[in-house]
Amino acid sequence: MLLFLLPLWVGCSAPKKAADNAGALQLDKEQVWQLVAQRGKDEAPSADPVILMFHPESGTLRGRVACNRYFADYTLRFDRVTAEGTRYALKVAYVSGGDVQCPEGDMAAQDRYLALLGKADACLLTPYSLTLFQKGKETLKFELQ
């Protein structure tokens, strides 16, 4: 009789981690995120908006800033589901921007953006927005396009 109940008991004690991220939102390679704010300040609409796209299957991200394209490696670790959305620990590495020389102001904006992206350590994902944080402070905010 005990051998008969063992599979039922094992089946009922599934790992908590699987249940903890139930309902968690996931990043999708089909999503295009457009930058709408940096450090809490709204971005002015632009003919060449800053965009970000994640590729979960390869652990890479890419996008466009100023007159260049950029790419990086990233890792995400599920943190928790909150009333606001899904929180993740985020690590971005090997951020590389393009070599096309943009006007001076655009190059400075590109450098600031890539520096903030490279220092992100957490993110909050909602159905229509993605916010990156560094040490608990909002650095970059994107909206789904």
Helix H or strand E encompassing 108: helix 104-119
Q: Is 50 helix (H, G, I), strand (E, B) or coil?
A: coil
List own/partner pairs for 128-135 with CB under 8 A and 24 or more apart: 129/85, 130/27, 130/33, 130/52, 132/90
pTM here is 0.83
Residue 106 belongs to some domain of the structure: yes
Pairing between β-strand 51-55 and β-strand 60-65 as defined by DSSP bridges: antiparallel
Residue 13 lies in a domain: no
In a domain, 10, yes or no: no
Please give the structure tokens belonging to residue 58: 């390869």
The pLDDT value recorded for residue 72 is 97
Specify whether the CB–CB gap between 34 and 42 falls below 8 A.
Answer: no
Per-residue pLDDT of the chain (145 residues; tens, 9 = 90+): 434 443 433 333 332 333 467 789 999 988 999 999 999 999 877 778 999 999 999 999 999 998 899 999 999 999 999 999 999 999 999 999 877 778 877 888 899 999 999 999 999 999 999 999 999 999 999 999 9
Establish if 128 belongs to a structural domain: yes
Q: What's the CATH code of the domain at 72?
A: 2.40.128.270
What domain count does the chain have?
A: 1
Report yes or no on 1 lying in a domain.
no
Q: What is the residue range of 123's domain?
A: 24-144
